[in-house]
Amino acid sequence: MKLDLKIVEPIVRSALAEDIGFGDITTESVVEENQIGKASLVVKEPGVIAGLDVAACAFHLVDPKLTITYLAKDGETIAKGQAVMEVEGSARSILTAERVALNFLQRMSGIATKTARFVEQVRYYNAKITDTRKTTPGLRVLEKYAVRVGGGRNHRFGLFDAVLIKDNHIEMAGGVKEAIMAARHHIPHTTKVEIEVETLEQIEEALEVKADIIMLDNMSLEIMREAVERIAGRAIVEASGGVTEENIVDIAKTGVDFISIGALTHSVKSLDISLDIVALGREE
Phi, psi angles (nearest 5°) of residue 20: -85, -35
**Strand duo 128-130 + 258-260: pairing:** parallel
Residue 73 to residues 111, 112, 134, 274, Cα–Cα distance (Å): 16, 13, 26, 17
The single-letter DSSP state of residue 267 is S
The single-letter DSSP state of residue 270 is P
Active site residue 284: no
Q: Out of 38, 128, 134, 156, which one is annotated catalytic? A: 134
| DSSP string for 179-218 | HHHHHHHHS-TTS-EEEEESSHHHHHHHHHTT-SEEEEES
The per-residue b/e assignment along 48-59, b for 16 or more CB within 10 angstroms, e otherwise, is: bbbbbbbbbbbb
Active site residue 38: no
Active site residue 217: yes
Q: Out of 13, 99, 133, 156, which one is annotated catalytic? A: 99
Active site residue 177: no
Q: How far apart are CA 272 and CA 242, in angstroms?
A: 26
Q: Out of 166, 192, 210, 234, which one is annotated catalytic? A: 166
Active site residue 24: no
Contacts of 212 (CB under 8 A, 6+ apart): 192, 193, 194, 235, 236
The single-letter DSSP state of residue 10 is H
Q: How far apart are CA 215 and CA 266, in angstroms?
A: 20
Q: Out of 74, 98, 143, 196, which one is annotated catalytic? A: 196
Q: Out of 74, 98, 217, 257, which one is annotated catalytic? A: 217
Partners of 48 in the beta sheet?
77
The angle at the Cα of 181, spanning 184 to 205, to the nearest 5 degrees, equals: 130
Within a 10 A sphere around the Cβ of 275, how many other Cβ atoms?
19
Which residues are the active-site residues? 99, 134, 166, 196, 217
